[in-house]
Amino acid sequence: MKHLLYFFCLPFSLGLFAQCDLPEPYANGPTGSNLTVLLDSGFLASLNFISPNPYIVALTSSNLVVGSADLALDSLINGMQSVAVWGDDSFTNDVIEGAVDGESISLQIVDGIYLYELSSLSM
């Protein structure tokens, strides 16, 4: 498996002139196949969240949420957080409930009304 990680921080304001649906946190259970992304303390300390409960989501190219983690200060461990990105398993062949092999995943932070695109990686 090839894993590429790129960090970009592009703020998108969702004010009066634009509306979109913010991604919700991951609600499914474990799929038996995953990738873990670590957000280190230096990176997280550089972000100035405006919301008391920011979170990060992992999305497939079809906007399927395949992972999430809470980024509130009381949820961090030594200033760090990890995100489990769940892959599709072989048990449910008729349903895709996770990222498939080779799929591009984007990481987005939801901070109140702001959405930040962080990176792209491949499963």
Q: What is the pLDDT of residues 63-95, one digit of tens each?
A: 888 889 999 999 999 999 999 888 877 666 677
Residue 59, Cβ density class (10 Å: 0-12 exposed, 13-18 middle, ≥19 buried): buried
Integer angstrom CA distances of residue 100 from 52, 69, 85, 91, 95: 33, 20, 11, 13, 11
What is the length of the chain?
Answer: 123
Q: What is the pLDDT of residues 5-27, one digit of tens each?
A: 444 444 444 444 445 677 877 77
As its CATH architecture, domain 10-122 has: Sandwich (2.60)
Q: What is the pTM of this model?
A: 0.72
Helix boundaries (H) for 1-123: 41-45
- What's CA 12's distance to the chain center, in Å? 16
> Where are the chain's structural domains?
10-122
